[in-house]
Structure 1
Amino acid sequence: MSSAPAFRKFHLMRQRWSQLLFAHWPIDPALLRPYLPARLELDLFEGQAWLGVVPFTMSHIRPLGLPAVPGLNRLHELNVRTYARLDGVPGVWFLSLDATQPLGVWAARTLFHLPYLHARISLTQTGDTLRATAERTHRGAAPATFVASWTPGDVLPPAQPGSLQHFLTERYILYTAGANLQQAVRGTALWRGRLFHAPWALRQAMLTEWDSTLVESHGLPTPTGPPLLYAADALDVWVQELRRI
């Protein structure tokens, strides 16, 4: 995107997301229900819940009114997600967000109430192939590791409303209830965050390596079968607001 949207003076933070892979599996809704607060309902596609693992690089991080700080304006992230809604508003619900930048993890946990966790993550590109490796290092959190290699392919048509592709990727709301997932699920606090970015430019993706214990670290069973994959081109993201609801 070449320019900021009209509300650029009012956003909380600006970022760029790149080297991103969406990997999703269908999952029994009954398995995921205990991982959401009572106020949230699982967002289902044709009666089916979905669980996602998403590695990517976040760069050009710049809070409202402040310049980017070298050394603090870039991190790698690896999140485990599902989808939820409240009062008919669909959004993303994160089980965990592993990330490399200690100050960024602290800020996300403290200011945005998100379940970020410290991790060592490498995300590299050789030719057309991307490779991500990760090891969770957060004190007191269940251990987890991750290795994946994938090659983005042809550009896909824009995701159409009502399609599974649109359901899994075109999300501009996030829900969170606190930095500790177990406590958040039992509590009553809830926040809704809003993002703005252009629609995803999605691509086919070919997976050549996958070895992960991220899902299992939450006590969920290992996903079965190959994941549904979408690679994505880089885009700029504006964090608009985070409001307690």
Structure 2
Amino acid sequence: MGFNAEKLLSEVDHRLYPRPDGPWAMSMTWHDLLFMHWPVPVEVLRPMIPAGLQLDTFDGSAWLGVVPFRMSDVRPRFLPSVGPVSNFPEINLRTYVTADDRPGVWFFSLDAHNSLAVRLARATFGLPYFDATMSLKREDDTVHYRSRRAPLAEFSGSYRPTAGIERSHPHTIEAFLTERYCLYAPWGKTGVRRGEVHHELWPLRKAEAEVETLQMTEQVGITLPDTEPVLHFAERLEVLAWVPENTTDRKARR
């Protein structure tokens, strides 16, 4: 394992709610993330979110994010990472929701350059993963990124940090967009599953980007507003993940 899981588990003061008590199931490291976010009217996104989830807002708007990055050392607990199976680029389209007072992420799509990871993630986590042709190259502090899933989703561009690390503070846009420690996914026809994650406070940096192609939201019928996105960069983050739980079953057992 590339990092000390026990040490990571002991760092909890920054969390909005306690980390899970049970054993984590997977570990991974995320690299060279670009967070691109746009405000979107609530009435546009609300119909796309299950009734059991509350759509989160900041400054009166819901937010839509496009996040390209690279994953490494993705592995189940007690097993080693395995070459290209555990290391691959990914890009996701997301918004932000809450259930049971636990703010989380709702993914519209996750594209990855790893067919095995796509199928395992669909089967294990119930997430909308898709195969895509992707490439990522870093030159000094600039990341050159390409992703294409014809004909529905495509991103190409370059991005880089423009300042040092600034840890987010509660009630700021930075915290709203990044400090979330679970994801939500559909389960059956009407249910929702929650997958918990744990990591340190995001090491965010201001960023700039030169985007050549951005066609990630057309797949859900949304046109991005004609405004500059809010941009953040994070170079590296170590992450632990738990097996998703059906929130409906969880409530019934209380």
Answer whether TM exceeds 0.5 for this pair: yes
Query: Could you tell me which amino acid in structure 2 is paired with residue 239 of structure 1?
Result: A
- Pair 1:75 & 2:88 matched: yes
Cα RMSD, aligned residues only: 1.8
CA distance in 2 between partners of 1:110 and 1:50 (Å): 28
Structure 2 match to 1:204: 206
CA distance in 2 between partners of 1:221 and 1:209 (Å): 16
> Runs of at least 4 residues of structure 1 off by over 6 A?
none
Task: Give TM-score, length-normalised by structure 1.
Answer: 0.90
Structure 2 match to 1:150: 159
Q: Is the 8 A contact 2:26 2:240 kept in 1?
A: yes
Query: Could you tell me which amino acid in structure 1 is paired with residue 204 of structure 2?
Result: L
Structure 1 match to 2:181: 172
CA distance in 2 between partners of 1:210 and 1:36 (Å): 30
Map of 1:78-93 to 2, 5 A cutoff? 78-93=91-106
Per-residue Cα deviation, 1:185-225 (whole angstroms, up to 9, x for no partner): xx212100110111111111111234211111211113321
What are structure 1's unaligned runs of at least 5 residues? Answer: 179-183
Q: Is the 8 A contact 2:125 2:243 kept in 1?
A: no
Query: Could you tell me which amino acid in structure 1 is paired with residue 102 of structure 2?
Result: V
Query: Could you tell me which amino acid in structure 2 is paired with residue 94 of structure 1?
Result: F
Structure 1 match to 2:251: none
Q: Is the 8 A contact 1:195 1:241 kept in 2?
A: no
- Pair 1:37 & 2:37 matched: no
Q: Is the 8 A contact 1:200 1:233 kept in 2?
A: no
CA distance in 1 between partners of 2:120 and 2:191 (Å): 18
Query: Could you tell me which amino acid in structure 2 is paired with residue 222 of structure 1?
Result: L
Aligned residues: 234
Structure 1 match to 2:122: 109
Query: Could you tell me which amino acid in structure 1 is paired with residue 175 of structure 2?
Result: H
SS at match of 1:33: helix
- The worse-fitting range, judged by mean Cα deviation, of 41-50 and 109-118 is 41-50
Alpha-carbon shift at residue 129 of structure 1 (Å): 1.0
CA distance in 1 between partners of 2:75 and 2:206 (Å): 30
Alpha-carbon shift at residue 2 of structure 1 (Å): 5.0
- Residue 108 to residue 2, structure 1, CA distance change in 2 (3 Å): closer
Task: Give TM-score, length-normalised by structure 2.
Answer: 0.87
- The worse-fitting range, judged by mean Cα deviation, of 19-28 and 153-162 is 153-162
**Percent identical residues:** 39
CA distance in 1 between partners of 2:196 and 2:223 (Å): 31
- Pair 1:18 & 2:27 matched: no
CA distance in 1 between partners of 2:60 and 2:102 (Å): 17
